[in-house]
Amino acid sequence: MHELSLAESVLQIIEDEAQNKEFSQVKTVWLEIGLLACVQQASLRFYFEVVTRNTVAHQAKLKIIEVAGQGWCNQCACEVPLTTPYDPCSHCGQYGLLVIRGEEMRVKELEVA
């Protein structure tokens, strides 16, 4: 259910930008979401549609750009792909990798009118 609060946060970012940049309608929102961010995209899409009703982002298309997980292994000094935060290093098998990419969520771009 945290997707509702994420959708509300995205809307707040959009509304702040609309006020700062003085636009009245958002046509498309591009979100980058890390695959390790534990965001259910279908739920986020649903809540985005709900919270944007009667706002500057009403009927805006939500485009999601998936960001792959990446980790850093201190043991072998390698950057490796991750599918979960607890994956072992694919080079040396060591656990406890530092997640360096894939947990983020950010508004990348807005198409406005």
Tell me the CATH number at 52: 3.30.2320.50
Which band of pLDDT confidence, cut at 50, 70 and 90, is reported for residue 28? very high
- Angle at the Cα of 37 from the Cα atoms of 41 and 52, rounded to 5 degrees: 40
The rounded radius of gyration (Å) of the Cα atoms in the chain is: 17
pLDDT digits (tens, 9 = 90+) for 2-19: 999 999 999 999 999 999
pLDDT band per the 50, 70, 90 thresholds, residue 91: very high
Q: Is residue 86 part of a domain?
A: no
Give the separation between CA 37 and CA 26, rounded to whole angstroms. 25
Total domains in the chain come to 1
User: What is the average per-residue pLDDT within 70-83?
Assistant: 96
pLDDT at 110 over 90: yes
Query: Domain range for residue 45?
Result: 2-68+101-112
Instruction: Answer left, alpha or beta for residue 6, where phi above 0 means left and psi between -120 and 50 means alpha.
Output: alpha
- In the predicted model, what is the mean pLDDT of the chain? 96
What pLDDT score does 1 carry?
60
Which of 1 and 100 is assigned the larger pLDDT? 100
Residue 95 falls within a domain, yes or no?
no
Residue 84's pLDDT is what? 94
Q: Is residue 31 part of a domain?
A: yes
Structural tokens at position 50: 């709900």
Contact criterion met (CB below 8 Å) for 33 and 105: yes
